[in-house]
Structure 1
Amino acid sequence: MKKVIIAAVAVMGIVLAGCSSKQSTNKPSDTVTIVNHAQKAAHGIKSGNVVLVNKNTQNKKTSTGKFTAKFHLDPMIVQAKLNNATGLVKNYDYFIDGRTVYIHADNSWSKQRLPKKSPLIKSVRRQVSGSAAVKAMQYLKKHLKLQKNQTTDVLSYNGHGKLGSMVAKKLILAEANNSESTKNVLKKVTITKFVYKYTLNKKTYLPTNTYIYMQYQDKSSKKSITEEVTSTYSNVNQVKKFKVPDAIKHNAPSTNQVNE
């Protein structure tokens, strides 16, 4: 199950400073102020719709996964559809209600009760709430470029130095629950490019779109891989309460038992 639900993490210039009055009309304080508002608004997300598209490119081949969800966070309930172009199960629907996952695959529903500290639940929560993008914003706070549009503001970063590498690796580790195996893998790769964009509603400061791109290279083989994650949000904090349909909740057979 954890292999199918892709935690789409992934990952990724610099505000120019100087004395010339002809440089950017956006003062650094303007950018930091908007970042502060955006962070506060993001932490206040309670519900919404999200479409997350993850693209992985290596050896000139691109695989794509699409995750579409409606969610409430407190208490947590998620209704989602996954389209996974390369997985064993290419398309399926599921609900997460508390610690119970209801999965529709092979033309039937089943359910699983997950442990209290399930990494799967943490991963899905991160996906729907956009916590990776918010975490990256904190790391990049003083280095973000601000673009003001009519109805939105865009915070962005584009680089390939130590800062971008640090942020990318921190996001990957967070998604992998800081596992030792992931730490070891990251020692063997070099982050060669990191791009980050966070688009927010000008009035509410809530996210409308996030984009994280990472390109990295294996130190030994020199092979390059790119990860690209785009999340599009709508109806943030406006989704009505919903529940798992009774027909699914009461009739889906249980496929496992877990230790509490």
Structure 2
Amino acid sequence: MKRRFFNSILTFAGLAVISASGSSANAKEYLNGITWEEPAVVTPGVINSDPPSDAVVLFSGDDLSQWKVNDSWKVVDGCMLTGKGKAVSIPKFGDCQLHIEWSAPTPAKGEGQGRGNSGVFLMDRYEIQVLDSYENKTYFDGQAGAIYKQTPPAVNATRPPGQWNTYDIFWTAPKFDEDGNLVSPAYITAMHNGILILNHFELKGDTPYNRPPKYNAHDSEGPISLQDHGNPVRFRNIWVREFTPAQGEQTRSPFIRDGKKETPIESSGDDQE
């Protein structure tokens, strides 16, 4: 059957509906009155795990020049191998996107918290757990992908020892006022091997082992740090993007444009529920 196209305007429930092949200068249009800055152009990597053009690369397999570490941390076969003490990034970040890949020791040794234990710390104080949680039981808020002692991951997406795990972490840093009072808490969204495990989780504070979490005022930016827990965990392909939301300014009140008529939302009489 020959398809017909109509350039008519249909009205339903008091709203103008424009056909796909036509338009009308008389159709109602909602305008929010915000003047937006043009979003920056970022070139993605060849694949999603590659750092995009605006990323800060913390480890690409060559050296540890972006980290404060002692000599026990090594680069072995293009991987960052844990040593004694923490590895602390030299660059510091606030709100950010973090990509990091890790692999538990193989063959697997130990059990519970003694198997492939490490951790990724945002701002050097808020930990998402690294652990060999493949067929390895432990307390749930201490398994891989947990915000340590605060929440388990929604699911256990850990790959077998020797295979690589990926964390993609989206971090909103906590905010404090000039007197050190908490204005807004930290939030984290995280994917483990492409699977959503934390969705805008609100942290209760830092993530210590021996006391309840709490917030202490700190700078708006802090380093990424990696934990040594006595297990030879490997890391690779670590990069971070600083994140700034789209910027705009409310230059006039929201309004409805209907042809040449502009009606402010506050006095339009339209149902805004």
TM bracket (short chain): under 0.3
* Higher alpha-carbon Rg: 2
What's the TM-score once normalised by structure 2's chain length?
Answer: 0.26
What's the TM-score once normalised by structure 1's chain length?
Answer: 0.27
The structure with the largest helix share of the pair is 1
